[in-house]
Amino acid sequence: MATPAQHVTLLKKAYRRWHASKGKDTAVWLELMADNIRVRSLAEGKPEAAFAIAVKSRREFQQYFDHLARDWEMVHYTMGTFIAQGNHVAMLGSTSWTNRRTGRRVDTMKADFWTFRRGKAVEFTELYDTAALIAAATP
């Protein structure tokens, strides 16, 4: 069983790769995930955030990434504070993306919440400024 510190180390490496690839290296996340990963995104169901779908599998999470890459281009993804307890890790950071259709940029604080079991992520919830995201995506 992995320790909270090991979970944080795994996530820090993943966030660094994600930032360095400007959101193109989706394998970094898929490698961390259990087959039955559950993902929740704050803008879930909003047409301006087609990527924000309810995810119940690693395959569905790839669809999330496909929609994200189609509609948005990453400017940065900056890690901040990590808090870990047991199988849970929270990360508070910031991110910025440009909408490919409108050319508008969204800058937002980002809170990610992870749950691990047997060394794999089984739950992921992300929170961000949905109003700013929707404004950037609206022509």
- What would the pLDDT profile of 120-131 be if each residue is shown by its tens digit? 999 999 999 999
CA dist list (Å): 87 to 2, 23, 45, 90: 8, 26, 28, 10
pLDDT-flagged residues of the chain (< 70) = none
Sheet with 88-99: list strands edge to edge. Answer: 33-41, 120-127, 105-117, 88-99, 72-85
pLDDT score at 78: 97
Which residue segment(s) compose the domain that 109 sits in? 4-137
Residue 105 maps to which CATH number?
3.10.450.50
In the chain, % helix, strand, coil (3-state, to 5) comes to 35, 40, 25
- pLDDT at residue 96, rounded to an integer: 98
Instruction: Tell me the backbone φ, ψ of residue 36, rounded to 5 degrees.
Output: -105, 40
Residue 1 has what pLDDT?
76
Residue 115: what pLDDT? 98
pLDDT digits (tens, 9 = 90+) for 35-55: 999 999 999 989 899 999 889
Residue 45 has a pLDDT of 85
How many domains does the chain divide into? Answer: 1
Overall pTM surpassing 0.85 (yes/no): yes
pLDDT of residue 41: 94
Cβ atoms 59, 48 nearer than 8 A: no
